[in-house]
């Protein structure tokens, strides 16, 4: 008899059922295994002893670990937050122990991968803990909130903003991996303790805390709605979401405006620059002009990439809320089904072009203020950013091209598209900001924009045909 039957759910196909994080980690397992089989001088031919910090290896390692930890923790909270598990003796304790041992066992993979490519073992311990903490944030901390789901999306956005610049960025990643022993060991103890302690919260305790928090928030919101909201919050929301009426998409529940896009682009770049300067001041009292130049490029690449992904995802998410726009079709104001689909995609195209232009001009203005760019660089950067944002705004439509209608399949497609797009946008911005010549410059500045425009046109046409032919179930949930 198995002394711990909870282990069976983590080692069977039940782990991958309705778990896109675990499925995506299985996809990243293939390139991760390939990289482990390569020698260090193949990954980094110039500095084999620094292969653990090479950009390609770093990206694959982080993506694999984040999705792996996220899938395990998501499955754990899915098990222990079921309403009936509190009556099963030792159910929660067994799953908690199993999850703890699995996290520690799985952590040997990234740890020994970093050690194999000559990373210092104290830094490897801290980096592995940061990967696990990031995965815990995305997949594990899934409190069953009954309402105000927007707060969960805000928390996940904060994880992206505050973790990815610290982990993915080359210089910061190097500084964390090169921490001395006296700094690395206490930091690793704090990180791993936080991960283990997060599993001890009882689900009924979480529910009571959330319900109390929501009740308190309701009381405060009622007070502010009568005292402050008409003069401050309501006007601020209108200002942030303002956009020309002809460029708005009426099917988007939470449309983005000019000011919101400008704030996202500016904050993404300046916050990354601020973090880079603060970390540099912690290790080097003097900041040189050479460092500020590299920090400016770093902030534009990382912050610009995050802003592009965030704005594009928010712009195209309305297609996922199909229960809303299918209900709008019943009003009959848009004509036939084909006319409704054509008008919906036309509104989406207009809003995508408008938001892509605003974000492109924002990042271009920040680039010209922080760096000295040639005219050719500015033109190439504008073309690359505009077409990339436009293409990513149609990322949620790619599932229609493959005929996928299940929510789990759509999530896998979206994760793959945005995960790989992070690397492509990062490399493109880096190539365009560093030089105005070379193959990479002409590829990202000329060839890739042309390909993306053709792809967007093809996606728009095919999505229209798929939406018209699709059998709409009007009472389906999004």
The predicted pLDDT at position 219 comes to 43
- Which tokens belong to 328? 């709008």
Q: What is the pLDDT at residue 324?
A: 65
Structure tokens at 185: 């060991």
Looking at every residue in the chain, the average pLDDT score rounds to 76
Q: Are 149 and 478 in contact (CB under 8 A)?
A: no
* The predicted structure's pLDDT at residue 360: 92
More confident residue, 203 or 377: 377
Higher pLDDT, 328 or 372: 372
Number of CB atoms found within 10 A of residue 369's CB: 9
Angstrom CA distances, 231 to 176, 218, 237, 238, stand at 46, 19, 11, 11
**189: three-class secondary structure by DSSP:** helix
Percent residues over pLDDT 90 in the chain: 3
What number is the average pLDDT over the span 395-420?
A: 76
* Total-model pTM: 0.61
For residue 387, what pLDDT is reported?
92
Helix pair 258-283, 233-240: axis angle to 10 deg? 90
Helices and strands: H and E segment counts in the chain: 21, 0
């Amino acid at each position: 008899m198995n002394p711990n039957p909870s282990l069976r759910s983590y080692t069977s196909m039940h782990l991958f059922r309705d778990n896109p994080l675990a499925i995506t980690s299985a996809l990243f397992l293939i390139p991760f295994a390939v990289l482990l089989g390569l020698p260090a001088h193949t990954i980094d031919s110039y500095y084999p002893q620094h292969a653990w910090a090479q950009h390609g290896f770093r990206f694959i390692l982080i993506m694999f670990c984040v999705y792996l930890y996220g899938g395990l923790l998501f499955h754990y909270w899915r098990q222990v937050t079921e309403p009936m598990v509190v009556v099963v003796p030792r159910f929660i304790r067994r799953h908690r122990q199993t999850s703890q041992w699995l996290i520690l066992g799985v952590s040997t993979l990234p740890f020994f991968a970093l050690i194999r490519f000559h990373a210092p073992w104290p830094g490897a311990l801290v980096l592995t803990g940061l990967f696990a903490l990031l995965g815990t944030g995305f997949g594990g901390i899934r409190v069953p909130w009954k309402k105000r789901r927007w707060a969960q999306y805000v928390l996940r956005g904060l994880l992206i903003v505050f973790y990815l610049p610290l982990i993915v960025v080359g210089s910061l990643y190097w500084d964390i991996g090169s921490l001395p022993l006296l700094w690395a060991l206490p930091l690793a103890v704090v990180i791993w303790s936080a991960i283990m302690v997060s599993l001890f919260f009882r689900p009924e305790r979480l529910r009571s805390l959330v319900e109390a928090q929501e009740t308190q928030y309701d009381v405060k919101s009622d007070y502010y709605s009568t005292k402050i909201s008409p003069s401050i919050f309501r006007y601020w929301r209108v200002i942030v979401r303002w956009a020309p009426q002809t460029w708005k998409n009426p099917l988007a529940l939470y449309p983005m405006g000019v000011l919101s896009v400008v704030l996202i682009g500016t904050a993404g770049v300046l916050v990354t620059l601020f973090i880079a300067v603060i970390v540099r001041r912690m290790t080097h009292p003097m900041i040189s002009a050479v460092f500020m130049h590299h920090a400016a490029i770093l902030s534009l690449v990382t912050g610009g990439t995050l802003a592009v992904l965030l704005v594009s995802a928010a712009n195209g998410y309305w297609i996922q809320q199909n229960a809303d726009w299918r209900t709008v079709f019943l009003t009959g104001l848009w004509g036939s089904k084909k006319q409704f689909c054509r008008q919906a995609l036309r509104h989406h195209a207009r809003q995508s072009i408008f938001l892509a232009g605003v974000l492109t001009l924002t990042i271009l203005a920040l680039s010209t203020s922080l760096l000295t760019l040639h005219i050719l660089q500015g033109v190439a950067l504008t073309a690359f950013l505009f077409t990339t944002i436009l293409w990513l705004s149609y990322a949620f439509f790619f599932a229609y091209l493959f005929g996928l209608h299940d929510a789990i399949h759509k999530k896998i497609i979206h994760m793959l598209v945005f995960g790989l797009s992070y690397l492509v946008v990062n490399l493109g911005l880096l190539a365009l900001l560093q030089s105005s010549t070379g193959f990479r410059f002409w590829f990202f500045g000329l060839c890739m924009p042309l390909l993306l425009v053709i792809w967007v046109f093809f996606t728009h046409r095919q999505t229209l045909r798929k939406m018209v032919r699709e059998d709409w179930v009007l009472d389906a949930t999004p």
